[in-house]
Structure 1
Amino acid sequence: MYALFLVLNETEYLDDILTAFVEIGVKGATILDSQGMGSAILNNENSRDIIFGGLKSFLDSSKPYNKTIFTIIENEQLLNKAVRAVKDVIGDIYKPGAGLMFTVPVGKVYGIGKDE
């Protein structure tokens, strides 16, 4: 099993990603409202002094909040389909401001499926 995490800065793609997950067989996901460190620093009045010119102007133009989606995926084949689905919706995941996606192997899951 695997956990797939997606920090989605371009939140307008959320519904399309969830629809794609359903279509390929992902059984569920959790969506959290989240905020990046740079945005948190920028919005903290006590920390504004540490933001310098170019960085401040870059952060001012970025979206202050994002969505973090995570799901448990049963096998590598479905994981690869889910990653492909995200890339198909977002396009270039490496473009600045798109977001961040990563996977983590999962040993055991409790609360889903049958009790051991």
Structure 2
Amino acid sequence: MYLIVLVLNKTEYLREVLKAFTELGIKGATILDSIGAGRMRNLDGHYIPLVGGLMRVLENGYPHNRTIFSVVESKEIALKAADRIEEIVGDLTVPGTGIFFFVPVEFFRGGALGHYLNQKNEPTEDGSVS
């Protein structure tokens, strides 16, 4: 299993990315509002302290992004997700587009994927695993 993480700067593509995840068989995702530290430092040409300025940034509607993360079953799905994301939002090496990465997961329990895997591995009436 792998944890995929997408920091999506082009938030107008959020629904399309989530639709692509569903099409790839990704069972669920968590979406957080986020803002990069570089944006915090450069807003309006003034340095804003990271903690103290966070509420002001959120209240004033400064540009933000979405951080999406999900656990997927295989490296193949993670790579397919990366390809689909770039088809939707464009080249991630272009600044201001976003960041995508994935890392192996050593332990996992819960969520939609966990429920799916538990059902998939439950013994059937004849004792075999489905």
Report the TM-score range of the alignment, normalised by the length of the smaller protein.
Answer: 0.7 to 0.9
TM-score calculated relative to the size of structure 2: 0.69
Matched to 2:70, the amino acid is T
SS of the residue 1:47 aligns to: coil
- Aligned partner of 2:93 in structure 1 is 94
1:1-116 → structure 2 map (5 Å cutoff): 1-42=1-42, 47=47, 64-111=63-110, 112-113=114-115, 114=118
Matched to 1:92, the amino acid is D
Instruction: In structure 1, list runs of 5 or more residues that go unmatched.
Output: 49-62
Moved over 4 A (4+): none
Aligned residues: 100
Aligned equivalents of 1:76, 1:34: Cα separation in 2: 26
Matched to 1:65, the amino acid is H
Aligned equivalents of 1:92, 1:40: Cα separation in 2: 24
TM-score calculated relative to the size of structure 1: 0.77
Matched to 2:37, the amino acid is M
Aligned equivalents of 2:79, 2:47: Cα separation in 1: 40
Do 1:7 and 1:101's aligned partners in 2 also have CA atoms closer than 8 Å?
yes
Give the number of the structure whose alpha-carbon radius of gyration is greater. 2
Aligned equivalents of 1:16, 1:77: Cα separation in 2: 20
Instruction: In structure 2, list runs of 5 or more residues that go unmatched.
Output: 49-61, 119-130
How far 1:100 moved relative to its partner? 0.7
How far 1:108 moved relative to its partner? 1.1
Do 1:41 and 1:47's aligned partners in 2 also have CA atoms closer than 8 Å?
yes
Percent of aligned pairs with the same amino acid = 43
